[in-house]
Structure 1
Amino acid sequence: MTTHRKNQSILLAGASGVLGGHITRALTEAGHKVTGLGRGEAAGVRADLMDRDALLRAVDGRHFDTVVHAATALRKPPTRHRDMYATDALRTDGTAHLIEAARATGARRFVSESMVFGYGYGDFGDQVLTEEDPYGPRGSTVELEKHLEGMRVKEQLTFEATGLEGVALRFGLFYGPGGTDALLPMLRKRQLPLPADHGRVLPWVELTDAGRAVAAAVERGRPGQAYNVADRTPLGFRAHVLCVAGEFGVPKPMTVPLWLTRPMPYAHTVMSSSMRVSSAKAERELGWTPRYASCREGLAALAARRR
């Protein structure tokens, strides 16, 4: 097991996002000093990942032990393919720029946020995907290839970065504090019709659990390795939202045929997909276990804190 020292100086790209806030808290609680990288005034290092020269100027003279890439351009759940394009670019060009910046700061380790959808969009049936399964297969359409290329390239750049110990965390779908909140107004206004799951399931991970996984990867991740990070209970998209409605006392979503979601092609693709992943490697090598083994547990805890 690789163990890095405590009290590291860490540069976090994406610190202002929902996941970034949870990562910052987990790293700080583990004894590390976190500096946020972003375009906002609150960032400790102000720069745009897509502007290579400005990024390198911003980190000039700074030193960090580890750089974490959790930057996203998403501010709400994507429904159309074009909603993902800016994030796709952050995964390719943005990662390449951030790796240059990491080297310039003398960092030894580079930890990337990745996603389980990098295994491909579609129905994997009862197969349980592990890190040994192919990652980043070619997409079946131009749009899906653009998304898969982003995830594929981000991991390749992470693992092949000379002089850096690259680690990737393949997360399930996020929910929890700061994430689930976006669904509540839509459910209250009955603006979130959803198709039945018909046996389809997806991996989920509660956001505080995701933050803890990043802290574990910073300290114990093996260089060149990817880790699935999800809870132990895959659940269909509609089933997840029904749990949200039940815990927060808001109306259940109306049921619609799956074909009716085609005007939202990215959402349609996600809702048509079904996959199960194993996080045994993360539990074994990182010493990480989900505090919430299922969405039901995590959502119940979140609702209880709000009462």
Structure 2
Amino acid sequence: MKVLLAGASGVLGRSATRQLTAAGHEVSGLGRSATNTLRADLLDADAVLRAVDGLTFDVVVHAATALQGESMAGHRSMVATNALRTRGTENLLAAARATGARRLVVESMMFGYGYGDHGTGLITEENTPFGPRGTNAWLERHVGAMRTKERLAFTAEGLKAISLRFGFFYGAGVTDDDVLPQLRRRSLPAVADHGRALSWVDVDDAARAVVLAVESSTPGRAYNIADRTPLPFGRHLQEVAAAFGAPKPLRVPLWLLRPAPLAHTGMSSQLRLDTSRAERELGWSPTHDDSLTGVRALAAARPAAV
């Protein structure tokens, strides 16, 4: 199939492009980066249509974000990504219609269920509303953008849409290129978890879910994509440090992160995803049951990073 992939230069997009190509699909990346096949600012509707003019595609994948690792401390760092999830989605829908695409796969994430402590129960796609209205204006912007992205996808006429709701990414291109340098600079702290845990997913496993959604999935479905063992943020960081020989993350009280409100909110949240629908319907399963095992495997495969 011919696949138009917005966000092909990102960590998920790069892995998805490799795996889609290996599976025999023809992938065209769309975005501002020079590494893309088609160059356009996804927020410029006319530029997007010019980029795809005269082309045909079977599937459009929206995996574009503007997330920048350690800069993800304040709410304003999400503004560009929120725009990509709203106006960017509208522009990609226009591109899908113009190119004859019939399937749409969109990247989403667990925080679309709402920031905060959801307790120790597993969140399924059916038991927790996606994109709940928030009382905090900034959090409502973030969650609202994720809600809008799915709404636009699922209500798009003539398109069979699938949404993939990912846990926190780790793995090649994330753990080694983003998290590890921050740990070595002592700029990524950990807080006491008090029993809270979050869901994680290896980015290559996430990309494999993209491939499966492109090839065979139930239209109108959302799928949680994460490994089987939710873990505290701090525990994950400790394992990265241990596996790669980096300094242990600094332990700080949660209140100390208030000047970094997005980080404060994320580290005080608890979201444990149930992925049984993805395993049952997509035939997807994680390579590793937990991120600790995955981090150790990554470190073992990359001795030069130690």
Name the TM-score class by shorter chain: over 0.9
Please give the per-residue CA displacement for 1:247-296, whole angstroms capped at 9, x wherever unaligned: 00111012111000111000000000011110000000001011111101
Shift of 1:41: 2.3
Aligned equivalent of 2:168: 173
Aligned equivalent of 2:244: 248
Shift of 1:192: 2.0
| 2:101 paired residue among 100, 107, 120 | 107
Letter in 1 for 2:8: A
Letter in 2 for 1:162: E
Aligned equivalent of 2:52: 59
| 1:13 paired residue among 6, 15, 34 | 6
Please give the per-residue CA displacement for 1:70-126, whole angstroms capped at 9, x wherever unaligned: 001122241100000110010001001101101100001000001111000111112
Aligned equivalent of 1:26: 19
Aligned equivalent of 1:155: 150
Letter in 1 for 2:222: A
Q: State the secondary structure of the residue aligned to 2:131.
A: coil
Single out whichever of 106-115 and 75-84 deviates more from structure 2.
75-84
Structure-2 separation of matches of 1:66 and 1:24: 13
Aligned equivalent of 1:187: 183
Q: Is the 8 A contact 1:220 1:285 kept in 2?
A: no
Structure-1 separation of matches of 2:93 and 2:216: 20
| 1:86-105 mapped onto 2 (5 Å cutoff) | 86-105=80-99
Q: Is the 8 A contact 1:193 1:254 kept in 2?
A: yes
TM-score (norm 1): 0.96
| 2:289 paired residue among 289, 293, 301 | 293
Aligned equivalent of 1:41: 34
Structure-1 separation of matches of 2:206 and 2:35: 23
Gaps of 5+ in 1: 1-7
| 1:141 paired residue among 121, 136, 141 | 136
Q: State the secondary structure of the residue aligned to 1:68.
A: strand
Aligned equivalent of 1:3: none
Shift of 1:140: 2.0
Gaps of 5+ in 2: none
Single out whichever of 70-79 and 153-162 deviates more from structure 2.
70-79
Shift of 1:191: 2.1
| 2:257 paired residue among 257, 261, 273 | 261
Aligned equivalent of 1:126: 120
Q: Is the 8 A contact 1:282 1:288 kept in 2?
A: yes
Shift of 1:228: 0.3
Quote the RMSD (CA, aligned, Å): 0.9
Aligned equivalent of 1:116: 110
Letter in 2 for 1:212: R
Structure-2 separation of matches of 1:302 and 1:267: 25
1:229 pairs with 2:225 = yes
Q: May I ask how many residue pairs the two structures share in their alignment?
A: 300
Please give the per-residue CA displacement for 1:220-271, whole angstroms capped at 9, x wherever unaligned: 1111110000000100100100010110011101211100011100000000
Q: Is the 8 A contact 1:25 1:211 kept in 2?
A: no
Structure-1 separation of matches of 2:165 and 2:219: 15
